[in-house]
Structure 1
């Protein structure tokens, strides 16, 4: 008995060895040439998503045949419910002419929300390795009938459920599947394929399987956490970390279209570390080749009290764009700013092609006002672009409008950020509830470590829209009002999720209630240039006479630009200062605007001390050398003034008094008023300070005569103070000084006794 068992086992082993080493053993099939791969896709309109799909297909030289272009869509609202049967009907018709081509491999994919990450050779190789005649995409979520879950074959590892957004197979087999279609255009295509796949007999006869481990198809719905970008030389791939695969087809099904947009900023060759942005200069508009510049309507929105508004309008005025091609629409929601708009209009009424203002008396909401501005361009056939800008955007790039037009996008905004913060005018991603989420590349884009043109889900504050887009894709007139969203969020959601309204020209009553697939307009942000910044409006107090003076903390860059002398930085780069007396230094610090506004603020306050010895404002209540003055503390400006000292006086101190590090602290900070009638001069005295600054706030010979300062120890006088320039001198022991008489007019100086 044992002998017989041995003979049986031995004979089996011999048969196995012969089969392995036999020259007649089956060989691996020859690779399918890429010319035998045909991509079929359904697209009734050339949406932004379709153009992106074709761009990725052309990059890899796929042969693509588009089905249904220009036809009315009757396949239902596939973005929100069941539908898509029209796609199967179109595929069925196309396959009738291909059914007898046994060596032809057909790849049927969606197009609006799909991109290629690899080429034909790779997809054919992976298809052959699957060793089936038909391969469907797979996903981890079942749709549209969850009751069919138990009928799916169980899998040890990988995605279990069929997704119809990607199908690859030999033409005769694809034809045998789609030829079974006899349903309506708005029936569900995925349910149709699912029922065929779940039929064990058909699954075996047609030799079908699913791409369980995402070798070819990556459906993003339910799998975003599995996907990472894989940067390499030449191009960027999507890597599935769960199965360590590099899918060839990436499909943003379900609610993952925004994540696909993020991936599409890189895949397959849009941006990488080696060459940066590959498509930024594709299809650009060369303005120099145009006979005339396009007409632009500029919509300006002032929705809250905004600092530096006159400067905002000046930057608008200095845009490098023909003013006869600019029309201005202003919505002002703040009575406080009416004086600024009136002044600008009076000075520039003939500069622009037109200038229209809608004021607070109209009582428009933000959404209504923004709809009105956009509608002005929509109704005007000559309006080529609509440029929307909020008053809290400080454009520092005069070329901004030109640069945005040249990028030739439907909607594009320039990146603007809040100084020294990551706050910007775009979001890189959205949370599940539709609000802010930080994308993986957000910080790099904001900091311009990655430079390019980026497809993003949300933008605000400033953007350019093509007039033709407003008259076609965005032709409805209420885009800024949606549920409880703020106007910018409403616009972006409407643009992202845009669907056409009812097809009133549909050929049959049955299709009247059908909606087209979502065909959202892509929105872009560009950081290819420095465009400007966002101003903070959060703590803008308008109770003062010149409110911008108080913005040194909230908006330090704009404060410096407005109030610091244009030659201040030359102190450090060119030694731009003077020493008229020993250890007395003279340097520029304030702009003319700063001097004027400080004087105005003090005169508006009006309670000058009168130069009396009795002074309740100081400790002890007695001033030995009194001046006719107002303290910074009296107008609530002491914190801001001390910050000014630390930011702009302390560096000069270190330069001229080398080795001395000031604390930048002062108790006595005030503006002095000299007039022949009240107080014309100041007797000799020492200051109670380590050093003193004395800033001239107006012009000698224009605003007053006389004045100046004499230092007794050195018998040295400075009699021609320059407006905005400051003296700096030691306060004790060596620099006894006096204020020389003002003989006519009024002289103003700002004084601080620093480090008392």
Structure 2
């Protein structure tokens, strides 16, 4: 009997399979035409998030109908508390005209914090495969009423709880759900949908289920660790690693909006490995097509002692932008820098459109000063842009201002980094407590392995803001003051979150509940060009006469730019050096500025030795061939000078004395002063060194007459020293030499006996 039943069943199965797979048989699931999918979303304002949503929808050619645009938002502060009922009311009204279209599929989604990662065909296929009339998004966290947890159906695997940010279903069924709405705009939409879903009879009658395994909807709240970017040819997907699914609708609900911003830097087609940044040239502002350049207020903030400030200020003058279109506001919080500001003002007071300085006597906090600068632009209707820059930013790209304006973003900053470090002016992510966290792509962006325009949660030091944004989205004052945050963190948090507030134009007590939604102004960093660098201010000591000289360790690039001769690198590229005597080499090494500041530092110290034989500064206390000098060690410059030798003298040594690898060490490093009145010359002698450098620190002719050096063995004299140029010659054995008399003025040279 059992055998007979098996044969009958087997025979029936073969016939059924033949009918299913025959050429004339209809498919098991008939596909839904993409024309039958309509997206309904609620947005009362065109925020940055909404515009991003529409870009992703347009990329996949979705049909989108926006509900409530221009309407006052009365649905509560949904980012921080219950609310959102206004969305259901608007959806209910829209569905009244669509209720009888049985084959129409409605996809109701949020817009401010949502992007698409796939197209209509895929979403309809997955909806059809779910085999339900209505499918809600699911998440692992319950909101807003945890007491309802036990009423949810148990699930073996997947997300258990409903999320109202994504609903897909046939129009008649969606209409039947939302037609039950009879609450207020500021009541909670998710609670409304939850109660319907938790009613077993309604759940069965309306044939509802949840997208438990994120086939269509990916809610990020509580699931960030499950999500990875999946790079492919053409576009980028989001992959849920827990369920091995490729969600189509990615929703940054709860506190995951910044993570959605990170994903949105790639999904669906913003950046990939094959094509780089595909959207960087979208909506560019072509400055060449404008009748005149926009007006820019430049806010300069000097909040702590800052090395290389004159060079920073000079770079503002060299920006490639019409100076009459630049208004300058300077807040200087340091008395030490008043001399630099005064010099800059005298140079540029007639260059810029206007020039305003607020000094340390005003006793403004950083937040107050930054608010003041921003207010100057906010209150001036002709101010098109506000460009804020801190004094520790060295803009090496003269086109920076133009390049930022052309990107046409509300808030954008140029990437600047600290030389040789991963320290930059932006954060790729935030930790749960709102402070620094490293995003997966941070290092690649800093090192410019990924080039583009990046939506980021925090920036500082230098950024450009549209004047219109200051007068609209950021029209309230005190954006730089928030709790215990530093000013830049306060600004970024205020711009990101735009903390909702009571509507001022509504006099009723109910207005306390009528909260505007978070605007979420996006902030961008661009690394499409090399803009410059950040300098270190942490250990800047202002106790010297010329303090920048001591910055060779902290800020080596800026030190080199200021203090190394402009032709130094040509020694190696064009053999730019001379040999005036056998084994005596002559090459440029120090800039005129370096020479002047070293001399000034020595004269400021003032304790010249007088050229006496007794010298307690050296071992043994006796100098056989004394000079009128000051040792580098006396002014606390010995470590810096030895580093200069290793960095800039040692490479030349290897070039001219091939095969000799110097240790770059010297016990005797000093500046000599020759004058007819004190010490005019130096008698013949050998140096206690393997080789010696002798750098001219001032000019023959204008600063002194005479001078020079004569090498006895070769009867060779060099009588025309060049400022900033160094002699290099062997010390102990072959090059007996003497200092020729200085006949007028004062001659300064820097000497080191290297490898004693």
TM-score scaled to structure 1, two decimals? 0.98
Deviation readout 1:270-312 (Å, 9 max, x if unpaired): 0000110011111111001111100000000001000000000
Deviation readout 1:133-161 (Å, 9 max, x if unpaired): 00000000000010111111111110000
Aligned-partner Cα distance in 2 for 1:745–1:525: 55
Deviation readout 1:414-459 (Å, 9 max, x if unpaired): 0000000000000000000000000000000000000000000000
Determine the structure 2 residue equivalent to 1:301.
Answer: 301
Relative to structure 1, the CA distance from residue 684 to residue 38 in structure 2 (aligned partners, 3 Å threshold; closer, same or farther) is same
Deviation readout 1:606-639 (Å, 9 max, x if unpaired): 0000000000000000000000000000000000
Residues 589 and 726 in structure 2, CA contact (< 8 A), matched pair in contact too: yes
Deviation of residue 526 (structure 1)? 0.2
Residues 72 and 506 in structure 1, CA contact (< 8 A), matched pair in contact too: no
Residues 296 and 385 in structure 2, CA contact (< 8 A), matched pair in contact too: yes
Aligned-partner Cα distance in 2 for 1:606–1:338: 25
Relative to structure 1, the CA distance from residue 24 to residue 218 in structure 2 (aligned partners, 3 Å threshold; closer, same or farther) is same
Aligned-partner Cα distance in 1 for 2:242–2:498: 33
Residues 499 and 515 in structure 1, CA contact (< 8 A), matched pair in contact too: no
Deviation readout 1:1-26 (Å, 9 max, x if unpaired): 99999999999999999998999998
Deviation of residue 337 (structure 1)? 0.3
Deviation readout 1:651-707 (Å, 9 max, x if unpaired): 000000000000000000000000000000000000000000000000001000000
Structure 1 unpaired stretches of 5+ = none
Relative to structure 1, the CA distance from residue 109 to residue 734 in structure 2 (aligned partners, 3 Å threshold; closer, same or farther) is same
Residues 504 and 512 in structure 1, CA contact (< 8 A), matched pair in contact too: no
Aligned-partner Cα distance in 2 for 1:421–1:13: 69
Residues 299 and 328 in structure 1, CA contact (< 8 A), matched pair in contact too: yes
Q: Which deviates more, 81-90 or 500-509?
A: 500-509
Deviation readout 1:498-527 (Å, 9 max, x if unpaired): 045322334965345311221110000000
Deviation of residue 349 (structure 1)? 1.4
Relative to structure 1, the CA distance from residue 470 to residue 607 in structure 2 (aligned partners, 3 Å threshold; closer, same or farther) is same
Relative to structure 1, the CA distance from residue 21 to residue 256 in structure 2 (aligned partners, 3 Å threshold; closer, same or farther) is closer
Residues 77 and 500 in structure 2, CA contact (< 8 A), matched pair in contact too: no
Aligned-partner Cα distance in 1 for 2:561–2:143: 59
Relative to structure 1, the CA distance from residue 23 to residue 339 in structure 2 (aligned partners, 3 Å threshold; closer, same or farther) is closer
Deviation readout 1:331-376 (Å, 9 max, x if unpaired): 1110000000001111221111111111111111000000000001
Relative to structure 1, the CA distance from residue 484 to residue 7 in structure 2 (aligned partners, 3 Å threshold; closer, same or farther) is closer
Residues 669 and 752 in structure 2, CA contact (< 8 A), matched pair in contact too: yes
Residues 269 and 278 in structure 2, CA contact (< 8 A), matched pair in contact too: yes
Aligned-partner Cα distance in 2 for 1:195–1:630: 86
Determine the structure 1 residue equivalent to 2:493.
Answer: 493
Residues 368 and 480 in structure 2, CA contact (< 8 A), matched pair in contact too: yes
Residues 76 and 517 in structure 2, CA contact (< 8 A), matched pair in contact too: yes
Partner of 2:586, secondary structure, is: strand
Residues 454 and 524 in structure 2, CA contact (< 8 A), matched pair in contact too: yes
Deviation of residue 46 (structure 1)? 0.2
Residues 692 and 728 in structure 1, CA contact (< 8 A), matched pair in contact too: yes
Aligned-partner Cα distance in 1 for 2:10–2:747: 118
Relative to structure 1, the CA distance from residue 22 to residue 55 in structure 2 (aligned partners, 3 Å threshold; closer, same or farther) is closer
Residues 133 and 169 in structure 1, CA contact (< 8 A), matched pair in contact too: yes
Aligned-partner Cα distance in 2 for 1:387–1:262: 25
Relative to structure 1, the CA distance from residue 604 to residue 5 in structure 2 (aligned partners, 3 Å threshold; closer, same or farther) is closer
Residues 186 and 513 in structure 2, CA contact (< 8 A), matched pair in contact too: no
Residues 645 and 664 in structure 2, CA contact (< 8 A), matched pair in contact too: yes
Relative to structure 1, the CA distance from residue 104 to residue 685 in structure 2 (aligned partners, 3 Å threshold; closer, same or farther) is same
Relative to structure 1, the CA distance from residue 115 to residue 682 in structure 2 (aligned partners, 3 Å threshold; closer, same or farther) is same
Relative to structure 1, the CA distance from residue 512 to residue 72 in structure 2 (aligned partners, 3 Å threshold; closer, same or farther) is farther
Relative to structure 1, the CA distance from residue 220 to residue 17 in structure 2 (aligned partners, 3 Å threshold; closer, same or farther) is closer
Aligned-partner Cα distance in 2 for 1:547–1:269: 49
Deviation of residue 30 (structure 1)? 1.8
Q: Which deviates more, 339-348 or 534-543?
A: 339-348
Residues 43 and 111 in structure 2, CA contact (< 8 A), matched pair in contact too: yes
Aligned-partner Cα distance in 2 for 1:24–1:200: 40
Aligned-partner Cα distance in 2 for 1:384–1:17: 70
Determine the structure 1 residue equivalent to 2:563.
Answer: 563
Q: Which deviates more, 482-491 or 342-351?
A: 342-351
Residues 676 and 744 in structure 2, CA contact (< 8 A), matched pair in contact too: yes
Number of residue pairs matched by the alignment = 756
Aligned-partner Cα distance in 2 for 1:674–1:508: 86
Relative to structure 1, the CA distance from residue 616 to residue 188 in structure 2 (aligned partners, 3 Å threshold; closer, same or farther) is same
Give 1:195-234 correspondences, 5 Å limit: 195-234=195-234
TM-score scaled to structure 2, two decimals? 0.98
Relative to structure 1, the CA distance from residue 358 to residue 721 in structure 2 (aligned partners, 3 Å threshold; closer, same or farther) is same
Partner of 1:571, secondary structure, is: helix
Determine the structure 2 residue equivalent to 1:583.
Answer: 583
Relative to structure 1, the CA distance from residue 517 to residue 100 in structure 2 (aligned partners, 3 Å threshold; closer, same or farther) is same
Aligned-partner Cα distance in 2 for 1:613–1:558: 40
Determine the structure 1 residue equivalent to 2:253.
Answer: 253
Relative to structure 1, the CA distance from residue 744 to residue 456 in structure 2 (aligned partners, 3 Å threshold; closer, same or farther) is same
Deviation readout 1:313-343 (Å, 9 max, x if unpaired): 0001100001101111111110000000001
Partner of 1:512, secondary structure, is: helix
Residues 79 and 517 in structure 2, CA contact (< 8 A), matched pair in contact too: yes
Aligned-partner Cα distance in 1 for 2:312–2:624: 46
Residues 34 and 124 in structure 2, CA contact (< 8 A), matched pair in contact too: yes
Aligned-partner Cα distance in 2 for 1:493–1:409: 18
Deviation readout 1:566-615 (Å, 9 max, x if unpaired): 00000000000000000000000000000000000000000000000000
Residues 675 and 743 in structure 2, CA contact (< 8 A), matched pair in contact too: yes
Relative to structure 1, the CA distance from residue 677 to residue 86 in structure 2 (aligned partners, 3 Å threshold; closer, same or farther) is same
Aligned-partner Cα distance in 2 for 1:466–1:712: 70
Aligned-partner Cα distance in 1 for 2:190–2:397: 51
Residues 214 and 247 in structure 1, CA contact (< 8 A), matched pair in contact too: yes
Relative to structure 1, the CA distance from residue 636 to residue 69 in structure 2 (aligned partners, 3 Å threshold; closer, same or farther) is same
Determine the structure 1 residue equivalent to 2:514.
Answer: 514
Relative to structure 1, the CA distance from residue 677 to residue 199 in structure 2 (aligned partners, 3 Å threshold; closer, same or farther) is same
Aligned-partner Cα distance in 2 for 1:424–1:644: 27
Aligned-partner Cα distance in 2 for 1:353–1:271: 40
Aligned-partner Cα distance in 1 for 2:461–2:613: 54
Aligned-partner Cα distance in 2 for 1:533–1:284: 25
Aligned-partner Cα distance in 2 for 1:688–1:508: 91
* RMSD (Å) for aligned C-alpha atoms: 1.9
Residues 20 and 27 in structure 2, CA contact (< 8 A), matched pair in contact too: no
Residues 499 and 520 in structure 1, CA contact (< 8 A), matched pair in contact too: no
Aligned-partner Cα distance in 2 for 1:169–1:508: 39
Partner of 1:187, secondary structure, is: coil
Relative to structure 1, the CA distance from residue 185 to residue 623 in structure 2 (aligned partners, 3 Å threshold; closer, same or farther) is same
Partner of 2:513, secondary structure, is: coil
Residues 197 and 208 in structure 1, CA contact (< 8 A), matched pair in contact too: yes
Deviation readout 1:54-110 (Å, 9 max, x if unpaired): 000000000000000000011011010100000000000000000000010000000
Deviation readout 1:212-245 (Å, 9 max, x if unpaired): 0000000000000000000000000000000000
Residues 417 and 424 in structure 1, CA contact (< 8 A), matched pair in contact too: yes
Aligned-partner Cα distance in 1 for 2:611–2:23: 116
Partner of 1:41, secondary structure, is: strand
Partner of 2:545, secondary structure, is: coil
Determine the structure 2 residue equivalent to 1:549.
Answer: 549
